[in-house]
């Protein structure tokens, strides 16, 4: 029930990009109910089998001759484990009934296994039929994964079955898209619909779309940089640059690299120095930069090609102003490129429990307690004196290797006197005791140093320490 004091307050509602009923149509409730029934039957069978096993031990085993007891005891152990059994030559009525029950459960398990496999074989084709039959789902999938849709159509036209590996993988990808659109709490792009509503009596319904699209600056930069001819866009120098002698160095983002950051450098020629003086910390149009650096018209094509080369290296950044477009309320809208915000028109109210303010306050206090207050390691490099940002980034990247955990303390037993193990643990003349404790470990490379029952093998670091030690180490005959 909604608190009267909260009626009329605005609330932001997250709306699924696709109806939840769409992926729910792929469910198999009859098969799920059969599985639940089989689980309950197997649980009851195990309980009854344990009772029959107890009765076999009390009633049947004492009355059997010695030759038949072995079979009875074997059946009794299997019943205690909940397995299916056959009575064999044992004449015991409870055992015959539990064996018939086990045969029925085994037949039902086999039939259910075949039904699950048949459903799995049909499932991938059902995903494609479901998407093809719904216009909104087809539009969403075509805009989100156009390559997958085209590949599926080409493979189906070529006669490939859905049981093939390629189509199975693509059907699983489509299924993940459906679930992300319908059930994920924080989807991206077109799948993230929001609506502004008010608290009050429901039900809440949503209608028309309003879409705001904004171009992606990074995608525009990659497109402009990869152009065969340098376009007339905005040029600027990357911010993370510094000089080392006669070299101009810089760091640039590399989304395709393993470290996401790429370092580059170039020799400081007169043209490079002039470019740095012209651009500095500002952005200029390509035509203005070319006019200032090459007044002679004959040199402008060469300079443009050189600027394009610097843009591909990452020293020069080519960008354009982001463009946005707002599509006002309409009945339906489709996905597009760039950053997309989708707004829906809401009708009705949202029921809010009276304890909502108290619950929000509790959540805020809990978030403050469990929040990770640890600062980034790069912040430790910032001191009271001003430093260039490029130096801080370079130092953070150079020292960015995570520290290796310390070796655990030794838990080896005390060595016996006058043994090889004792000579290893005791060290050699001239070695401090503190240093010996860090590498005093048993040597297992050779059979003389390896305890009985221990496999051959030892880390390279241990072998290196033993080589430096001298008297204890000797190469294995297989590796000499």
Label residues 77-112 b or e (16+ Cβ within 10 Å = b): eebbebebbebeebebebbeebbebbeebeeeeeee
Which of 313, 343, 321 shows the shortest CA–CA distance to 216?
Answer: 321
Return the SS3 of 171. Answer: helix
Q: Return the beta strands (E) in 288-445 as ranges.
A: 316-319, 324-330, 339-347, 349-350
Q: How do residues 335-389 score in pLDDT, each as one tens digit?
A: 666 788 888 888 888 887 778 778 888 888 888 877 666 667 777 788 888 888 7
pLDDT score for 88: 79
Handedness of CA 122, 125, 127, 132 (dihedral sign): negative
pTM above threshold 0.75: no
Q: In 3D, which of 299, 295, 296, 293 has the Cα closest to residue 235?
A: 293
pLDDT digits (tens, 9 = 90+) for 421-447: 777 767 544 444 444 444 444 444 444
| 141 vs 149: CA distance, rounded Å | 7
Compute mean pLDDT per 10 residues along the chain, 480 residues long, and list them. 64 83 87 93 93 90 84 90 85 89 93 89 85 83 81 89 87 87 73 83 82 84 88 90 90 76 90 91 90 88 92 90 82 67 85 80 83 70 81 75 48 71 62 42 43 46 45 43
Length of the chain: 480
Q: How far apart are CA 163 and CA 101, in angstroms?
A: 35
Position 454 scores a pLDDT of: 45
Question: What confidence score (pLDDT) does residue 455 get?
Answer: 47
What pLDDT, on the 0 to 100 scale, is given for residue 428? 46
Which residue matches tokens 């809010």? 352
Give the pLDDT of residue 477.
45
Q: What share of the chain is helix, strand, coil (3-state, %, to 5)?
A: 50, 15, 35
pLDDT at 205: 85
């Amino acid at each position: 029930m909604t608190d009267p004091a909260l009626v009329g307050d605005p609330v932001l509602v997250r709306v699924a990009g696709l109806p939840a009923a769409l992926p729910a149509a792929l469910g198999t409730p009859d098969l799920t109910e059969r599985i639940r029934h089989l689980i309950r039957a197997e649980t009851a069978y195990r309980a009854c089998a344990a009772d029959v096993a107890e009765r076999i031990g009390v009633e049947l085993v004492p009355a059997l001759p010695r030759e038949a007891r072995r079979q009875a005891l074997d059946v009794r152990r299997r019943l205690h484990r909940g397995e299916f059994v056959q009575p064999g030559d044992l004449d015991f009525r409870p055992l015959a009934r539990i064996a018939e029950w086990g045969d029925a459960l085994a037949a039902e398990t086999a039939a259910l296994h075949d039904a699950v496999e048949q459903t799995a074989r049909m499932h991938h084709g059902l995903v494609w039929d479901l998407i093809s039959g719904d216009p909104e789902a087809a539009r969403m999938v075509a805009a989100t994964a156009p390559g997958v849709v085209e590949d599926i159509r080409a493979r189906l036209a070529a006669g490939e079955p859905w049981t093939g590996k390629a189509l199975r993988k693509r059907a699983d990808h489509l299924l993940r898209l459906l679930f992300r659109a319908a059930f994920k709490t924080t989807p991206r792009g077109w799948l993230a619909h929001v609506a502004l509503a008010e608290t009050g009596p429901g039900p809440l319904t949503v209608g028309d779309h309003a879409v705001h699209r904004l171009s992606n600056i990074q995608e525009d930069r990659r497109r402009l940089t990869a152009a065969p001819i340098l376009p007339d866009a905005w040029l600027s120098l990357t911010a993370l640059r510094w000089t080392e002698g006669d070299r101009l160095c810089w760091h640039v983002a590399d989304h395709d690299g393993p470290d996401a950051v790429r370092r580059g450098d170039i020799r400081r020629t007169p043209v490079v120095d002039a470019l740095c003086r012209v651009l500095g910390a500002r952005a200029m149009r390509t035509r203005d930069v070319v006019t200032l650096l090459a007044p002679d018209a004959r040199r402008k094509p060469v300079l443009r090609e050189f600027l394009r080369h610097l843009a591909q290296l990452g020293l020069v950044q080519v960008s354009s102003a982001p463009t946005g477009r707002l599509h006002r309320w309409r009945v339906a809208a489709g996905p597009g490129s760039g950053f997309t915000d989708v707004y829906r028109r809401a009708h009705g109210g949202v029921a809010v429990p009276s304890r909502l303010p108290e619950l929000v306050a509790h959540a805020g206090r809990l978030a403050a307690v469990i929040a990770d207050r640890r600062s980034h390691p790069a912040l430790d490099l910032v001191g009271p004196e001003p430093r260039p940002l490029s130096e801080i980034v370079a130092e953070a990247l150079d020292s960015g290797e995570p520290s290796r955990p310390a070796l655990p303390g030794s838990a080896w037993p005390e060595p016996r006197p006058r043994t090889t193990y004792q000579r290893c643990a005791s060290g050699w003349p001239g070695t401090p005791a503190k240093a010996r404790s860090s590498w005093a470990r048993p040597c297992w490379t050779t059979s003389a140093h390896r305890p009985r029952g221990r496999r051959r093998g030892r880390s390279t670091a241990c072998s290196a320490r033993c080589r430096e030690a001298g008297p204890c180490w000797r190469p294995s005959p297989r590796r000499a």
